[in-house]
Each structure stands twice: as C-alpha cells, then as structure tokens.
Amino acid sequence: MANEKSASVQRANTRFGWFRAYAAGIPLLAWLLGALVAVLLEQTVGDVLAALLGLPKVPVLFGCMIMLKEPTLIPSALIFVALVYGAPILLLGKILARPGNWFAARMMSWPIAIPVILHLVLVYAIMYFWSDVSLYRTLTLRLTLIAIMLTLSLNLINGYMGEFSCSHPGFMALGAYAASTLMVVFFVNDRLFGEALLPEFLGPFVFPIALVLGGFVAALGALLIAIPSFKTRGDYLAIISLAFLFIVKSLFENLQFLGGARGIKGQPDYADLPTVFCWTVLCIWIINNFVRSTLGKALNAVRDDEMAAEAMTVNTRFTKMVAFLFAAFWAGIAGGLFAHTVRFINPGTFDLKRLAELLAMVYFGGLNSVYGSIVGAVSINLLGEMLRPLALYKWIVIPLLLILVMIYRPTGLVAFKEFDVRKLVQPKRKPEEEV
C-alpha cells in the first residue's frame, strides 16, 4: 500500500515537475505583482486585443463562457487568456523572484501585520481591477467571497468537529432575514415596513451592527437545536439538522409581516466589494485562529475519539457547543452579506439546492482545512458560473467532477492542512540556494 502511494506521488511530481521547478523560488509577493500587471493589462488593452482576435468582448470568466457558447472561438479565447494572464504572471513572477525574495526576507524582521497587510492590499487591488471590467464580475466575486465564509463556517462542523450538519442554509436564512429587516425598516421606504426611520447617511455605520445582530440570531437558532442534537451522533444529527432547515424555511414562508413566500426586497446596497472583502478576511483570520487555538485542538480530539477526549479531561459537550454556535454566527453574517448583495431574499433561496452547493464546496476543497474551504468555495462557485451556458447540463458535469474527487481524494483537494500566514508571506528559496 505504501509503495503504491509512493508511486502515485512520484507520478504526480513527474507530471507537474516542470512547473514545480519553475515556481520553486518565486514568493507570493512576486505572483501577486504579476497578477496585478495582468489585470491592469486587461483593462488597458483588453478590448483592442479581444477585437483583434475576433472575440465579441473581453472574456468575462477567463474565456470559458465564450468557448462553451461558440466552440469556434476556442483558439481565440485561449490566446487571449495566455497573452493577458498566463504570460505576464509567469514571466513577471520569474523576473521578480529575486527582488521579491529579498524584500520578503526584509519584511520578516518587521511585525507580521505589515507584510500581511501589504499582501492583502495587493490581493484587493487585483480583485478590484479584475472586477472593474464588468458588473457581472463584481457580483460573481462578491458572491464567491461570501461562499468562502459559508464554507469555512460549515467546515468547522463537518470537518473539524467531525459531524454532518445540514442546517447551514437555515442559519444563513436567519442572518439574512434579521439583517435585511433591520436595514429595510431603518433606511428604506417600503410598502411592507413603511417609511424609513433613520436618515440614509447613517446606513453604512449601522450595517455592521445589523450583520453582527444577524449572526447572533443565527447562533440563537443553533442553540435551540444544539441541546437535543448533541445527544445523538452521525445520521441522527444529520436528520435533526435537516429538520431544522425545513422548519426555518416553513417559518419564513408563513410570517406575512416578513413578506411570507414573497420574501424581502430592496435591501440597501451596502455590501460592496470592499465591505465583503474585509468581512471575508476577518472571517478567515478569526476562524483560522480558532482552529489553531486550544479549543480548536480539543475539537479535533473530539472528532477523532470523543471518549478518549473525555478521558483526557476535555469538556466535549462545551467544545462542540461553542464550535456549533461559532459556525452558525459566521453563517448568519454571510447570510446578511448575501441578502444585501443580491438585494432580494425569499424562503426558497435557502433550500436543499443551497445545502448541496455548500456541502460540495466543503468536501471538494477538503475537510479540516482553511485552505480547503477557500479552494472549494472558489472552485465550485466559479465553475458553476463558467458552466452557465450548459444550462441544466452543468449539474451533470459538476457532480461527475465531485464523484471523481471523492474517488481519488476522499478527503478533498487540500485536506488537513494548516493555514500558516507566516509561511505564505515568507521568501521562497530554491533547494540549491538553501544548501
């Protein structure tokens, strides 16, 4: 068995050996600078290049949608992506490797917050200029960031705690309705709630409070099911959490003062890209610190062997309760951001399809891993948008892809890997340079 695993690893290393060798000494800083130049290049010459290649417009999602709609444009779309993204990122990454490593090494002597903030500024700049091409890109990017928050919070339960919860869309709904109701009542002239109670300029200041309130409402809902749920395990917990989802959905369908089945619309557009980005970064930072803390390690112990954890004086019930409420809290905040991004919600938004998407993101990316949650959310969300021209057929392609991943990597693409910020921003030396 060990020999077979070693052989598969060797084959993978041989298959991607050229790229590993090429990227061995390139730090993250150099990659980000290359990506920034690529998106700026698209902004300046993208329209001209697309016209020269016979494309109707600048490819929205790396040419995938154009290639699926018009197969004859596949060569043109591939050339566009190669010239605009591939060449600048690969070439500049290599060119900037040495100065990037030197600067990264200098930054390691500074407080860790400085290099982290610098890298985050570059990441946001890339997102901003990339999404500035079209409103569709902006919306897709905002929804992808929200999906990262949802996947991270669900991974706390299904990955780190080792349970199978189906209640996350319900937590998302509680947060979305709580934040939406507060903001619409205070700042929107609405037929359902009447005239606005506060002036509009206070909206951006009240919005974070509304999101946190939505998170607490979701955590309260989690508390109501946690007590009976934690007396069971495995399939029984999944059934109870699924029942909670149906209860929440049915509740909002019958609450006429919250719009009933019609839902709530007209939420103020306060969930812009900077806001969603900041909340996503905060979510990643807090959840990563949580899983690396003593309580997070205790959660892993409960997942591996609950009886052994109790024997080692771990308060298993308290540990699971905190993790469950913590995950629901962030799902509620993500729900509030989602409601103010799409500016419309109804009970049908939080159904089994939403649950399937969240579970796919978690298990595709990888269990027990912050990296995996980010990879899974970005991959599934963007893949769903890229395959949109296939209409219903995309729901055949995506499940088949998930099946293949479950066969060959049952724990996901990037499972059981710690998210270490210091390793991300540190210089990358080639093995021969280290020797």
pLDDT mean values, one per 10 residues, the chain (435 residues):
47 59 87 95 93 90 86 92 93 92 92 94 96 91 96 93 90 96 90 84 93 96 82 73 91 89 90 96 96 89 82 83 94 97 93 91 91 93 86 81 86 86 84 43
- Radius of gyration, alpha carbons of the chain: 23
φ, ψ of residue 345 to 5 degrees: the values are -140, 150
pLDDT at 167: 92
Considering only CA atoms, which of 267, 42, 271 is closest in space to residue 134?
42
What pTM does this model have? 0.92
DSSP-derived 3-state class of residue 320: helix
- Tell whether domain 135-422 is in CATH 1.10.3470: yes
The Cα-based distances of 351 to 167, 322, 334, 345, 346 in angstroms read 10, 25, 16, 12, 10
At residue 263, what is the residue type? Answer: G
Considering only CA atoms, which of 363, 336, 362 is closest in space to residue 350?
336
* Residue 279: both structure tokens together: 């909340």
pLDDT at 409: 86
Considering only CA atoms, which of 63, 60, 83 is closest in space to residue 71?
63
* Residue 190: both structure tokens together: 């609405």
Q: Which residues contact 144 (CB under 8 A, 6 or more apart)?
A: 377, 378, 381, 382
Instruction: Tell me the domain boundaries of the chain.
Output: 9-111, 135-422
Considering only CA atoms, which of 415, 168, 152, 165 is closest in space to residue 288?
152
Neighbour-count burial for 244-274, b at 16+ CB within 10 Å, e otherwise: bbeebbeebbeeeebbeeebbbbbbebbebe
* Residue 290: both structure tokens together: 């949580």
